[in-house]
Amino acid sequence: MSLNLRLDDDRSAALRERARREGITPRAAALRAVDEYLSATDRRARVRRTAVEQAETWRELLDRLK
């Protein structure tokens, strides 16, 4: 899949500067940002699922503690 990403001047400059400091291309920096975003959203979803599962597992005890 091909994707064109249009950034405003400030974001474009910040991306280029960050990439330069890290010794990578702006494209690689953008891909890294996408990967980190996807990973973070996956983690949040797993945490939510686990919280719901644990609340169900311990519902009786939690109700008694109210």
Asked whether the CA dihedral 52, 57, 58, 64 is positive or negative, the reply is positive
In a domain, 12, yes or no: no
How many whole angstroms from its chain centre is CA 29? 14
Picking from 19, 21, 23, the residue whose alpha carbon sits closest to that of residue 11 is 19
User: Is residue 20 situated within a structural domain?
Assistant: no
Residue 22 forms part of a structural domain: no
Residue 33 falls inside a structural domain: yes
For the stretch 26-66, pLDDT in tens is 999 999 999 999 999 888 888 899 999 999 999 999 899 98
pLDDT at 1: 84
The answer to the question of residue 1 being in a domain is no
Look at residue 51 in the predicted model and tell me its pLDDT: 93
In a domain, 41, yes or no: yes
Q: Does residue 2 form part of some domain?
A: no
| Furthest-apart CA atoms within the chain: distance in Å | 57
**Boundaries of domain holding 36:** 27-66
- Look at the chain and report how many structural domains it folds into: 1
pLDDT tens-place string over residues 2-26: 889 999 999 999 999 999 999 999 9
